[in-house]
Chains A and B, each alone.
Chain A
Amino acid sequence: METSDKKPTETPAAESRFTVSPITLLADLWMGRLIRFGGLGVVLAVFGMLAFLVLQVFPLFVGARVEALPALTVPASAVAFGEDEYGELPYVVLADGTIHFQRGSDGAKVQEWSPALVGRTVTAVRSYPRAGLVFLGLSDGAVLEAKVSYRATFDAGGKRALQPIVTPLEPVQVGSPGLPCLGVWNAKGAQSRLLVVRQESAGRPKLSAVRITERKGLGGKARVTASAPFAVAPELSDLEQVLLPSTADSLLVVTGTGEVRAYSDDGVGMPLLQVFRPFADAADARISAAGLVFGHVSVVLVGQTGVHQVWSIYPQAQPDGRSLRRWGKIHDPEKLPGPAVGIFAAEGNKCYLVGAGGELQLRNMTTDTLRWQGPAPAGRVAQVAFAGNYDRFTALTVDGKLHRWKLEDHHPDSSWGAFFGKIWYEGATEPAYTWQSSSGSDEFEAKYSLVPLFYGTVKGTFYALLFALPIALTAAVYVSQFLRPEYRQIVKPVMEVMASLPSVVLGFLAGLWLAPLVDPHLVSLFCALGVLTPAALGAGFLWSALPQPWRRQVRPGMEFVWLLPFIALCCWLAWQAGPSIEAAFFTVKDTASGAPLADFREWWRQTTGMSYDSRNCLVVGFVMGFAVIPIIFTIAEDALSNVPQSLISGSLALGASRWQTVWSVVIPTAISGIVSAVMIGFGRAIGETMIVVMATGNTAVMEFNPFSGMRTLSANIAVELPEAAAGHTHFRALFLGACCLFLLTFVINTLAEVLRQRLRERYKVV
């Protein structure tokens, strides 16, 4: 070709019939470019696919990004703060109860509101920024509640302006009259609200509470009833911190001696439920800071040395055998640099900020991970709150500064530990691998462990191969070595047709036809399957024992024709024997009536204590065989029939029988091809989706019980991805599953391919 290219330029005088038409040259050039471009493009696209999947997963493993915004200077007497959704118009509550609104952009004062107090003073302040509620504890033990709301107004130019509105309510007498409130807390539960105040009398702390119930009347007008004030924890002699969970049915008190005392609502009062000392073993048992995490069923506790624990309430076995919900330790996060100055929970996820040793740490409780770490503001922190949609947080320090940070943390719940580790979730009795991506409640801890899905995948694959391998490999040996060639021409296309059966069809037949059919006949089925091997071997021995003229009737390569009726007969007999075997070996007492019951399913449940589902692994394994058998068969048959004829002839010439030749010459030579076939079959079984979706219950359980279902990585994606919100942690977790599947099958197939190439080399040598 090169010569024809150059010819015209070298010898311009050449006859025109020797010159190549420029159109031909141009076509050659451009088609060459097009093919190079297209080919390279497709190859790159294929690799780009993996890159894209990894790129989608990558944000899951990125920590939080925090950026400090300029701090606002507020009046030095500010003790609490709150803000609107976008931080445009934050407010601080001063020690005298004045609510002071400042513009978030430049700190200019916008408005001020002061409570109307007749002869009383404000002695305690608490602000709940998210709800926009400010509680003022008064000098006479009463509590004044004020609601802060904002109204957006637009001027003629369409410019938006925020107008704050403060709505005070009537003061409620919560504490003992005459004693000033030293602290005030509010919690709004599902049914009622709990207001708690702390006072002090004779040097002893005194906690009182009022329960406020709001009932919607028929007319839609709410009727508010407040209970009489009642004392909580009257036995307390000292008190460091009060934690009031938003469930409004319990109360935690941290004492100066390092005790946490839990009180729980019993309908009448709030008796003591439990006392625990988290750092009893430490040299200094005192607790430096405690804080409830979003959902308010877990509490983070930090000791004086920075030791760090998370306790949660979950069912625990009591000495008397009952199981009661009690507090217990669920996490032991790494030690902090020093005692904590406070623990401040995020809203909407299980993250919390903890300040210790001059540092701020943003940690996730579920996964025990540090999401971000940065310098803490200089002054002592009075209050910290997360705002907006977990995209900002603000801290008020006592030196009159409102520090603000911008937070970018799209996947607070994710980490390596979340996907692959064993995690003690809230409310669980022990650490576990759990996949549970959604729930009815917002306060739910998302559980993204991929381990049960891997487990399900391996389990399904195992049962599929358990069934498919013997059939595929023996069939491959028979077809390649013994079967008459004219039948081979038929068998191979039939197997290819089997490979092409759509998996949705197999799944449908497995789930809706096979599972209910097999269910009552399990023992019969096992008998029939169990009798296959002995029957085939028996037929072989029987035939071997026959005198030669009889044996001649069976031409070599035609054994299967004679075997077929024999096997069918044996299977039929075994099937018929099934019920008697079930009656003989699998009879149990019926739990309801006590009568003996010959039922394998019930026997399995009672004997092993494991579950029995009608759509179980065995059904899946059997049907997945349809997908896996032809693949293994085709590749193994290829490998076996490519064994050089010279080897086989040599072996036969030396007097080996045909089986001896196959067993000691053909199979060892082709073994890498066979292994590669098995691996490719394995890869196919791992990724099989529709069969698993349709033929199992899709529960993410982790037990190797052959009579239960499972949830595989692929089925999980098929079931959940259509409902997952794009870009959300759940969505990306499913992409992570897909990535794992991709890598897993890619690696397995590559290994298989390398093995096959080695086999080819070996044939070359032979």
Chain B
Amino acid sequence: MSSPSSDSSTPRGEAWVWFTGLGLIVGLGMVIGLLALVVLNGISVFWAPPVPVVQVDDGRTIIGQLAQRRIRPGSLASDPRYELQFQVGLRELNGNSYLWVDEAKLKGEVFPADILGLERVENGPAFLRPLTLKRADGQEVPVTSPAFSESFQQEVAAAGATREKLVELTRHRIGDVNSEMEAARIALRRAEDRGQADEVAEQRKLIATLEARFADLRTEAQGVAQRGEVAKLLGRDAAGREVTVPLSQIVRGWFPNQLDTWGRVRLFFSRLHEFIFDEPREANTEGGLMPAIFGTLVMTVFMSLLVTPFGVITAIYLREYAQQGPILRIVRISVNNLAGVPSIVFGVFGLGFFVYVLGGSIDQLFFSDQLKYNNNTPVFGTGGLLWCSLTLALMTLPVVIVATEEALAAVPRGMREASLAAGASKWQTIREILLPASAPGILTGVILAMARGAGEVAPLMLVGVVKLAPTLPVDAVAPFLHLDRKFMHLGFHVYDLGFQSPDSDAARPMVFATTLLLIILVVCLNLGAIWVRNRLRARFKGASF
């Protein structure tokens, strides 16, 4: 396409070629910029920077980690004035974990080595200068002692183990007793209603034993909790006030100004591990995301289990069985166009049909007892995992159908005819020739469907995603997969934390980290699909694909 003539005049319209190049630059810039923004912000959440002691003009002293720098609201672009946001922690003392400081009023900052950062179970983080550690065995270790750091970490680990024990006690054992008690109460109400006297007596007895067990467990839990209260950390905050933090409250402690790079990396991975494998704390603004990750995965997998067979069967029907003609063309266009219907419409359909009509009927048919004796609490007649998966399956159905149809169409005609000529039946041809040959294409479609399903939030808001689910949709209690349970979802987590959180400053790092995780999940699924498709293309290079 180089200039046809050899003279030095420029071909006409070259400037416009450059102009079209602009679109590419802006488009690529947008994607790369966005990804970079999310990755940087998401990763920096886990990184522990040095923590300064800051002197402000108005006489305040602040110990805190720098969170943001921004133009002061109301300040003009021509005369920008900046302010810094410090995460100072100790919410119970300061009222707020975050402080804005006018940049012009900063007098100076120093990085003393003795500053201790704490992540706590309640009231957010804390930054303080430790004085003494009161150990569980009653010994006191002053900060000046060389053993301070080591024994502090030991005590934190011990407190963590105690906390885990408590969680095991309260969440699992007491929770089990609670759910048994709930079932017994429903049985009792039913028996009372039906006038079965012996059954009533039996259920009453059961409830009494359960209550006794409940009381025992609670005493045990209180005992464990009290023993954990012994170990304490004494310190001073920026203003010089004495602060006492029970070690049972401390999740993690670190000396941000003493850490070497390796220490920071270890801290980074420790936090990352917590983020992925632990449960959320503090109204979801801290701790981990395990329930949301798990919920997203279970929902996506369940959705793809639903969508794959239906999508593939429909595609085979449309391509191999249905009478080709104008009607089929209309059907095909309609199915394709379903992919362009807004996701919220599927949510509306899911709520109206799946939840109210289907779920309502299931409740009437199979759970009428539950409804009657449990204050009309619906089982399937409310949002839940099953309805979410079905709604998203319906939404992603066209993706799978189109991908499968294309893959089937790409199988060379010769292969199909050879199979039939060799005496294979139609089904045998499909099973042995068409499906294996189009498997990568189908897989691409399924992966794309999963990617779309995993990132979708709007319909899920209507059919069963919640901000905090007490239980996972899969657990060790029969029937193991609880289709009626509400669950947590990464995308909804982003929406909820970003927009419904009472403390948006505290939620901000978590939203960025969640966003990063969600994007990694979705982008990986997409790249996987692209990779599979490229392999497929290479394989059928000779064919008309």
Task: Report which A residues bind B (CB closer than 8 A).
Answer: 1, 4-5, 20, 24-25, 27-28, 31-32, 34-36, 38-40, 42-43, 45-47, 49, 52-53, 56, 470-479, 481-483, 491, 493-498, 500-505, 507-509, 511-513, 516-517, 520-524, 532-533, 536-537, 539-541, 543-545, 547-548, 551, 556, 559-560, 563-564, 567, 578-580, 582-583, 597-599, 625-626, 629, 633, 652, 655, 657-660, 663, 680, 683-684, 686-690, 693-694, 714, 717-718, 721-722, 726, 734-735, 738, 741-742, 745-746, 748-750, 753-754
Contacts and interface: CB of A to CB of B under 8 A. Distances in A.
Contacts of B80: 520
Contacts of B347: 717-718, 721
Contacts of A481: 20
Contacts of B452: 500
B474 to A, nearest CB: 23
The 4 closest A-B pairs by CB, nearest first: A687-B342, A39-B317, A540-B15, A659-B13
Nearest to A597: B76
A481 B17 CA distance: 9
Given A39-B317, A520-B80, A567-B25, A478 B20 contact: yes
Contacts of B345: 53, 687, 738, 741-742, 745
A42 to B, nearest CB: 4
Most A-side CB within 10 Å, residue of B24, B73, B341: B24
B111 interface: no
B20 A475 contact: yes
B310 A38 contact: yes
Interface in B16-30: 16-28, 30
Contact of A657 (B11, B38, B322): B11
B30 A498 contact: yes
Given A513-B37, A567-B22, A718-B461, A43 B331 contact: yes
A24 B25 contact: no
A49 B77 contact: no
Interface of B: 1-4, 8, 10-28, 30-32, 34, 37-38, 70-71, 73, 75-80, 309-311, 313-314, 316-318, 320-322, 331, 333-338, 340-345, 347-349, 351-353, 356, 394, 397, 401, 420, 423-428, 430-431, 451-452, 454-458, 461-462, 491-492, 494-495, 498-499, 504, 508, 511, 515, 518-519, 522-523, 525-527, 530
Given A474-B19, A680-B340, A689 B427 contact: no
B322 A717 contact: no
A597 B27 CA distance: 36
Most A-side CB within 10 Å, residue of B38, B76, B77, B431: B77
A180 to B, nearest CB: 55
Given A38-B313, A500-B522, A508 B495 contact: yes
Given A52-B352, A495-B31, A749-B337, A559 B18 contact: yes
Contact of A32 (B321, B458, B498): B321
Nearest to B521: A502
Nearest to A731: B352
Contacts of B73: 516
A657 B13 contact: yes
Contacts of A563: 18, 21-22, 25
Nearest to A38: B313
Contact of A498 (B18, B27, B321): B27
A24 B425 contact: yes
A748 B339 CA distance: 12
B31 A498 contact: yes
Contacts of A749: 336-337, 340-341
Given A501-B34, A536-B19, A741 B1 contact: no
B423 A4 contact: yes
Contacts, number: 360
A741 B13 CA distance: 42
B38 A505 contact: yes
A750 B332 CA distance: 11
Most A-side CB within 10 Å, residue of B23, B508, B527: B23
Most A-side CB within 10 Å, residue of B20, B334, B431: B20
A32 B428 CA distance: 11
A660 B17 CA distance: 10
B160 to A, nearest CB: 32
Nearest to B328: A43
Given A501-B455, A505-B519, A721 B77 contact: no
B462 A722 contact: yes
A622 to B, nearest CB: 9
A31 B511 contact: no
B501 to A, nearest CB: 11
A690 B495 contact: yes
